[in-house]
Amino acid sequence: MNKVDRDTQLHKENKLPQTNEKRNKFLLFIGLVMASLTGVSVIRVLKIHNM
């Protein structure tokens, strides 16, 4: 494989989304959803106890 072919192949590989990046974004999204639901439930419990 010559240098031009190798550079072309590397360029093609870099354009494809990485599976690990998608997984990390999905896990971040799930974490944010869980954190917001936890926050809502804590606020609801605090309101009930303060009444």
Note the pTM of the prediction, 2 decimals: 0.50
The three-point CA angle 17-23-27 to 5° equals: 145
Domain total of the chain: 1
Per the domain annotation, does 3 fall within a domain? no
For residue 9, being part of any structural domain is answered with: no
pLDDT tens by residue, the chain, 51 residues: 566 677 676 666 556 566 677 788 899 999 999 999 898 888 888 888 776
CA distance 22 to 34: 18
Structure confidence at residue 12 (pLDDT): 60
The reply to whether 11 falls in a domain is no
In a domain, 45, yes or no: yes
CA angle 49–41–29, rounded 5-degree value: 160
Q: Domain residues for 33?
A: 20-51
13 within domain boundaries: no
User: How far is 8 from 14, CA to CA, in rounded Å?
Assistant: 10
Structural domain contains residue 38: yes
Chain-centre distance of CA 33, in angstroms?
A: 11
Say if 15 falls within a structural domain: no
Domain contains 37 = yes
